[in-house]
Amino acid sequence: METEAEQVEYVQAQRAANLQAPLDLVQWQHFLKSPSWLETGTTVTAFKSEKVIGSVAVYRDREEIKQFSKRVGVMDNVFVDKDWRKRGVASYLVYQGLLYLKENGMEMARIGVRANNKEALGLYMRMGYFAIRESKVYTMEI
């Protein structure tokens, strides 16, 4: 994820797969410069013929350490191309992300998911995640 070309490809794949929370390049590049990302961040990405078909961003959450008194890793921005869903790609990416977090000293893993994303909720629960809090986010166009 070092070159702008790689970043553009990632953002385009994410936008194509996840229309509810699309990234833009500036937003993604800003995130890639954050202290949490620079410390431990990486992506676990699946490719088919050099095309990104899915990915998950993983990094350390410095703020949640204060709340839980443990090293907390985050899995964020999980997506799989529509044509590759229901084939185990998401499970594999999340599993590899968990391994990466554990290998980098994390004791807990946090993942955010929209309440209406039933498929993702089911996957994460089958993998051992449980809810610690539920929240609502409000927005409006201005």
Q: What percent of the chain has pLDDT over 90?
A: 54
Percent residues over pLDDT 70 in the chain:
92
What pLDDT is recorded for position 21? 75
The whole-number pLDDT of residue 137 equals 67
Instruction: Give the pLDDT confidence score for residue 64 in this predicted structure.
Output: 61
Name the β-bridge partners of 114.
Answer: none
Does the pLDDT value for residue 58 go beyond 90?
Answer: yes
How far are the Cα atoms of 48, 107, 116, 135 from residue 28, in angstroms, in the given order? 23, 26, 24, 24
**3-state class percentages of the chain: helix first, strand second, coil last, to nearest 5:** 45, 20, 35
- Confidence at residue 67, expressed as pLDDT on a 0 to 100 scale: 66
Residues 12 and 98: their CA atoms lie apart, in Å, by 25
Across the range 55-64, mean pLDDT stands at: 84
The pLDDT, as a whole number, for residue 41 is 94
Residue pair 46/53 in contact (Cβ under 8 Å)? The answer is: yes
Q: Delineate the domains of the chain, giving CATH numbers in brackets.
A: 4-126 (3.40.630.30)
Query: What's the chain's Rg over C-alpha atoms?
Result: 15
Helix 4-17 vs helix 25-32: angle between axes, to the nearest 10 degrees?
120
The per-residue pLDDT for 68 is: 65
Residue 62 has pLDDT above 80, yes or no: no
